[in-house]
Amino acid sequence: MIPLPLARIAEITSGALSGMADPRAVVRGPVVIDSRAVEPGSLFVALRGERVDGHDYVAQAIRAGAVAVLATRPVDAPSVIVPDAAAALAELATAQAAALPKVTVIGVTGSAGKTTTKDLLARLTARIGSTIAPVGSFNNELGHPLTVLRADLDTRFMVLELAARNIGHIKELTRIAPPQIGVVLNVGTAHLGVFGGKEAIAKAKGELVEALPRTGVAVLNADDPLVRAMASRTEARVTYFGRGDSASIRAENLSVDARGRASFTLRTPSGTAPVSLKLYGEHAVENALAAAAAAYELGLPVATIAAELSEATPRSRWRMEVTDRADGVTVVNDAYNANPDSMRAAFGAFAVLGRGRRRFAVIAALRELGEDGPALNAELGRLAGGSGLAGLIVAGPDAEPVLEGARAAAAEAQAAAQASLDAQAAAQAAAGLPPAPHEGGPQGWHGPVPEHGAPQGWHGPAPEQGAPQPGRQAPQGWQGPVGAVAPGQPPTGGPPVGGPVHGQPPAGAPAVAGGPAGGPPAGGPPGAGAAYPAQTMRIVHVPDAEAAAAELAGWLRPGDAVLVKGPRAMGLERTAELLLGGAAQ
């Protein structure tokens, strides 16, 4: 921040010096709300929350080197006393932004993708000059002014992420640091219950372009009708990004590799350049185009923009973080937050990244969806249940709509797959042909071995050995208890056979659509003249993130892939951390 004496801070915030504060003492920054982040020269803002009161940590902040405290009641330390600490923080940031006339402020908003776009754009503007951008998702009434206060006289760009939980929030954030460029990504279903509808969300997001000056630029998503319509709400010049021909900054010749990373030709009014993203998921293309459009308006050459986008890696935690364990299990940690739109994007990316592998997902019921919540959560369940997963874990409260949707979709998918297999078998029989040899049988088969040999994923003895018998030692790799084996049946006491028997699940079984992940499919083992049964999916509900990790640990085998995604309040990043060998935070 720009160094300020306490007397000037008191003047800006309409506060009063207290606690033997020296009006000439200079705060050089940073301004922090966490006493653990205090550095020598800091100003500590004591906020009172529902569970923690910053005033209780004043002594710790002073010991760490804070010059003074911005507080709402007298404390035993040099301080500036104000009626409302959050409002005073905003006023201080407003004064700081006004003192930086050479800074270009770029605001980014949207229902999804704000943080990734902000990170990409900050990388691009850093090629031109000193850039300040939020850490993670500092995008609300506290994080926004804290980010602004990090700027100093050398700062040339502030790339700010603006979030809204109601009408008027973005307008207030733009008052603190008036933007010259405003980027609007999309209007989706995040916080749908709070706003009451997508039109209200569009009204809130559009406050960013309304705040732009006539000399500014509105960067709008041409592919989202609600965003495109915002052009009528601004006096600024408008430029469009997207995939269609109407966008001046667009992606052409799009392709996605086996890891779900997109490559495309970036087309601009002044030429083209190839981009190969290191970010995961095709939905990252829109974020890259938005960043490219803003950077192009700042004068960066298209080749430079393309090169920087191609080198960019995720900067913010828990957003499509892809990690490969030593045993080949791939964990996709996209657990920072979730809404219906980002869930669809994540499952789409995961389908590509996990192609040809057993795939599992850990999700939780979405929140802040209002009266549409049950229906949208049931839709989420159907999305997951129809995604070809080997297993699904739903964590936390209010999970029943998700579970019901997942069970229904999984049953439909299994029935459709079985019908296709039966039709193939019938066609072969009608033609007088023997059953086609199955290379390994169904993925994850744990049942008796067909005469064609041990199928892929077999965890029992070699075919000539037969299953373990009572009183005999289980062969290496056997995953069920030793017991008598009737012809065509799994070992006695072993995992339940895939799907429901005669439409009923085994007594006392957990919520299961089909058998346990990787277990035998419903029906009997494949026999002469019969198609393999369609693979089934296990669906389980657990109370929390730790229980999800414990449950999933028993399912995973080398080479599997896992998606972890849910609303921020569920803390599902802990599930990913535990799967990767870390400790729960």
Residue 464 has pLDDT above 70, yes or no: no
* Cβ proximity of 230 and 220 under 8 Å: yes
Q: What is the model's pLDDT at position 570?
A: 93
First-to-last C-alpha distance (Å) of the chain: 31
Model confidence over 411-431: pLDDT tens digits? 998 888 888 888 888 888 888
Across the beta sheet with 321-324, what order do the strands follow?
321-324, 330-333, 561-564, 359-364, 391-395, 538-542
Pairing assessment for the beta strands 561-564 and 330-333 based on DSSP bridges: parallel
Is there a single domain that holds both residue 273 and residue 338?
no
Residue found under tokens 């700042």: 298
244 within a domain of the structure (yes/no): yes
Is there a single domain that holds both residue 169 and residue 271?
yes
CATH of the domain at 280: 3.40.1190.10
Last residue of a domain, one of 286, 311, 336: 311
Is there a single domain that holds both residue 215 and residue 262?
yes
3-state secondary structure of 185: coil
* Cβ proximity of 62 and 71 under 8 Å: no
Q: What is the model's pLDDT at position 435?
A: 67
Identify which of 120, 158, 156 has the alpha carbon closest to the alpha carbon of residue 139. 158
Q: What is the model's pLDDT at position 486?
A: 32
Model confidence over 27-58: pLDDT tens digits? 998 999 999 999 999 999 999 988 899 999 99
Task: Give 108's strand partners.
Answer: 161, 183
446 within a domain of the structure (yes/no): no
* Cβ proximity of 247 and 267 under 8 Å: no
Number of domains in the chain: 3
Q: Please give the C-alpha separations between residue 424 and each of 67, 392, 536, 579, in angstroms, as whole numbers.
A: 77, 29, 19, 39
CATH of the domain at 39: 3.40.1390.10
Known binding-site residue numbers for ATP = 110-116
Q: What is the model's pLDDT at position 437?
A: 55
Is there a single domain that holds both residue 307 and residue 327?
no
Amino acid at 572: L
Last residue of a domain, one of 259, 276, 311: 311
- Stated as kind and residue range, the H or E segment containing 309 is helix 302-311
- Stated as kind and residue range, the H or E segment containing 116 is helix 114-125
Residue 196 has pLDDT above 80, yes or no: no
Model confidence over 314-366: pLDDT tens digits? 887 888 899 999 999 999 999 988 889 899 999 999 999 999 999 999 999 99
503 within a domain of the structure (yes/no): no
How much is the pTM?
Answer: 0.74
Q: Please give the C-alpha separations between residue 242 and each of 115, 182, 186, in angstroms, as whole numbers.
A: 18, 16, 11
Q: What DSSP string describes 210-265?
A: HT--TTSEEEEETT-HHHHGGGGG-SSEEEEEESSTT-SEEEEEEEE-TTSEEEEE
Is there a single domain that holds both residue 248 and residue 285?
yes
Model confidence over 233-281: pLDDT tens digits? 999 999 999 999 999 999 999 999 999 999 999 999 999 999 999 999 9
* Cβ proximity of 452 and 530 under 8 Å: no
Question: DSSP state, 174?
Answer: H
90 within a domain of the structure (yes/no): no
Whole-angstrom distance, CA of residue 131 vs CA of residue 159:
7
What's the mean pLDDT in 440-461? Answer: 39
Is there a single domain that holds both residue 52 and residue 155?
no
Q: What is the model's pLDDT at position 585?
A: 42
- Per cent of the chain over pLDDT 70 is 80
290 within a domain of the structure (yes/no): yes
Model confidence over 493-551: pLDDT tens digits? 333 333 332 233 333 333 444 444 443 333 333 333 345 566 689 999 999 999 999 99
- Owning domain of residue 169: 100-311
Is there a single domain that holds both residue 143 and residue 55?
no
Known binding-site residue numbers = 110-116
How high does pLDDT run on average in the chain? 84
Is there a single domain that holds both residue 368 and residue 396?
yes
Q: What DSSP string describes 338-378?
A: --HHHHHHHHHHHHHHTTTS-EEEEEE---S-GGGHHHHHH
What's the mean pLDDT in 194-204? Answer: 80
Q: What is the model's pLDDT at position 476?
A: 41
478 within a domain of the structure (yes/no): no
Q: 455: pLDDT confidence band, cut at 50, 70 and 90?
A: very low
531 within a domain of the structure (yes/no): no
Query: Omega of the bond prior to 274 within 30 degrees of 0, cis?
Result: no
Question: DSSP state, 471?
Answer: T
3-state secondary structure of 104: strand
Is there a single domain that holds both residue 260 and residue 127?
yes
Whole-angstrom distance, CA of residue 107 vs CA of residue 114:
10
Whole-angstrom distance, CA of residue 229 vs CA of residue 253:
27
CATH of the domain at 347: 3.90.190.20
468-472 contacts, C-beta under 8 A, 24 or more apart: none
What's the mean pLDDT in 290-295? Answer: 98
- Residue-level length of the chain: 585
Is there a single domain that holds both residue 192 and residue 252?
yes
296 within a domain of the structure (yes/no): yes
Residue 409 has pLDDT above 90, yes or no: yes
Cβ-in-10-Å burial (0-12, 13-18, 19+) of 86 comes to middle
Is there a single domain that holds both residue 153 and residue 241?
yes
Is there a single domain that holds both residue 195 and residue 233?
yes
Q: What is the model's pLDDT at position 572?
A: 95
Alpha helices of 136-189 — where are they, by DSSP H?
143-148, 169-176
Residues sharing a CB contact under 8 Å with residue 23, sequence separation 6 or more, in sequence order? 5, 6, 7, 10, 17
Last residue of a domain, one of 311, 336, 370: 311
